[in-house]
Structure 1
Amino acid sequence: MERIGIIGVGEIGRAIVEGLCDGVEEPPEVFLSPRGAGAAAELSRRHRNVRVCVDNQDVANRSDVVVIAVRPQDRSEALAALRIGGDTVVISLMAGVGIGELRRTLGAVGPLVRAIPVPAVRERGSVTVTHPSHPVADALFDRLGGVLPVADEAAFNVFSALTATVSTHYRFLATLTAWASRQGVPAEDADRYVRGLFQGVGRALDDGASSLEQLAKEHETPKGNNERIRTTWFDRSNSDALTRALDGLLADLK
């Protein structure tokens, strides 16, 4: 049986465990660090194959694959004095921490892989970017919705920057519902409608034959309401501001 260790049981660590275990007939053995004690304990109660270890070194000692899911700013504390065997595959989820820096921090000699999973891996419904490609890491994320190995860290950082737009999307939807509420629409009705509207829009993304530009055109008519909002709100200055924000983030990630 596979033995997968996770150091840092926050939102992403928890989502990985749930994606690996929920509804799976033969899930892997999963070893969790005590960091995020509440979530780790709850997962171990739900799944007989999940165990909370005494410390991070215990996780590393028991695992064939170690997923590092701590915040980048916490890495010194979390990884201090950690020793990982040369046969263990290490998968880092820490944004902005390159392979070279991670190798120096860990003193590791074995395989190191970076990955960008998102919470939807709990439903096995999202693609995870990895670098470099490694059969063990790629197989793990393939089970969680799909894997997209990229050739170099420069490309990996671009995907990392794209991932940082998710909360902005949710804030956009929250702004729509707040506006509708100010017009006198009950808040719960506005929330229900906006969720349903964009769930439907999201399903259109399954059509890989249509480009995103084509989908945009298909959802508006000349001089129609969609075209009006796109051209008056998401205008050139708005688009340029988003591009500058992404450029700045990418520079920091490098």
Structure 2
Amino acid sequence: MQRIGIIGVGEIGRAIVEGLLGGDGEAPEVFLSPRGARVAAELSGRFEGVRVCAGNQEVVDRSELVIIAVRRQDRHEALAGLKVGDDKLVVNLMAGVSIDDLRRTLATGAPIVRAIPLPAVRERRSVTVTCPSHPVVDALFDRLGGALPVADEDDFNVFSALTGTLTAHYAYLATLTSWAAGHGIAPDAADRYVRGLFQNVGRSLSDESRPLRRLAADHETPRGSNERIRTTWFDAANATALKEALDGLLTDLR
């Protein structure tokens, strides 16, 4: 795919551009919408072959593959009147917006594929869920760290709900540093230690030969500190509350 357009240049749009143009291999031409003008202008200044278009219709007209990355609540305003020919390929990054919903909005017969890229695509190390599988779209995200195609939108929405847990993880780490600071540890020292602690955990996740529960058990000593926190804080009630929160989010996404 040689000409890629992005409508909605926020954090994910920026990450896709950086991943595509910051690595090895032939770089595509990238056409950006003026929405998110500051980010779009910065990217066009950094990368040869990136152009900011006058409007969303120009993005579509110049592109073979069009990525739509606006917020769900902004889609009708951003996409109103847009003419998308059946010869285009559309990638929908909007959480909670089904293929049929977007097809009605765009009034197009073009193939539409949903995807969930994460910010780590900028380093080309993030697995991106796609639905349905499409060779061009899967190849695009393989280049950015890997594609994980799923067969239907019900499964896709489950993966979409899982992405809603990211900032809770960061908040958990921030709570650990705050607790340490409350016990007299310098905040920068607590922050450095917690980051190092969980960066090591992240590296262990690359060992796909062990299931996640096995990894947890391997890092735990019977009646040790880790077991104590897991069983006294992350108990059955805590796990149930998390699953109920995910169920509520999944209902909204569907």
- TM-score bracket for this pair, using the shorter chain length: over 0.9
Give CA deviations for 1:157-182 in whole Å, capped at 9, x if unaligned: 00000011001100000000011011
Deviation at 1:136, TM superposition (A): 1.0
Is structure 2 residue 190 aligned with structure 1 residue 161?
no
Partner of 2:249: 249
After TM superposition, the structure 1 = structure 2 runs for residues 141-156 of structure 1, keeping only pairs within 5 Å, are 141-156=141-156
Q: Write the distance in 1 (CA, Å) between the matches of 2:191 and 2:125.
A: 23
Deviation at 1:108, TM superposition (A): 1.1
Q: Write the distance in 2 (CA, Å) between the matches of 1:18 and 1:24.
A: 12
Q: What is the DSSP-based 3-state SS (H/G/I as helix, E as strand, rest coil) of the residue aligned with 2:205? A: helix
Q: Write the distance in 1 (CA, Å) between the matches of 2:130 and 2:84.
A: 20
Q: How many residue pairs end up in the alignment? A: 254
Q: Write the distance in 2 (CA, Å) between the matches of 1:230 and 1:202.
A: 18
Q: Write the distance in 1 (CA, Å) between the matches of 2:157 and 2:226.
A: 32
Partner of 1:16: 16
Q: What is the DSSP-based 3-state SS (H/G/I as helix, E as strand, rest coil) of the residue aligned with 1:13? A: helix
Q: Which amino acid aligns with 1:203?
A: R
Partner of 1:66: 66
Partner of 2:191: 191
Partner of 2:43: 43
Q: Write the distance in 2 (CA, Å) between the matches of 1:104 and 1:15.
A: 28
Q: What is the DSSP-based 3-state SS (H/G/I as helix, E as strand, rest coil) of the residue aligned with 1:54? A: coil
Deviation at 1:149, TM superposition (A): 0.3
Q: Write the distance in 2 (CA, Å) between the matches of 1:23 and 1:130.
A: 22
Q: Which amino acid aligns with 1:195?
A: R
Partner of 2:120: 120
Gaps (5+ residues) in structure 2?
none
Q: Write the distance in 1 (CA, Å) between the matches of 2:191 and 2:27.
A: 37
Q: What is the DSSP-based 3-state SS (H/G/I as helix, E as strand, rest coil) of the residue aligned with 2:102? A: helix
Q: What is the DSSP-based 3-state SS (H/G/I as helix, E as strand, rest coil) of the residue aligned with 2:148? A: strand
Q: What is the DSSP-based 3-state SS (H/G/I as helix, E as strand, rest coil) of the residue aligned with 2:30? A: strand
Is structure 2 residue 232 aligned with structure 1 residue 232?
yes
Percent of residue pairs bearing the same amino acid type: 68
TM-score, L = length of structure 2 = 0.99
Q: Which amino acid aligns with 2:218?
A: E
Q: What is the DSSP-based 3-state SS (H/G/I as helix, E as strand, rest coil) of the residue aligned with 2:96? A: coil
Q: Write the distance in 1 (CA, Å) between the matches of 2:34 and 2:187.
A: 40
Gaps (5+ residues) in structure 1?
none
TM-score, L = length of structure 1 = 0.99
Q: Which amino acid aligns with 1:172?
A: Y
Partner of 2:87: 87
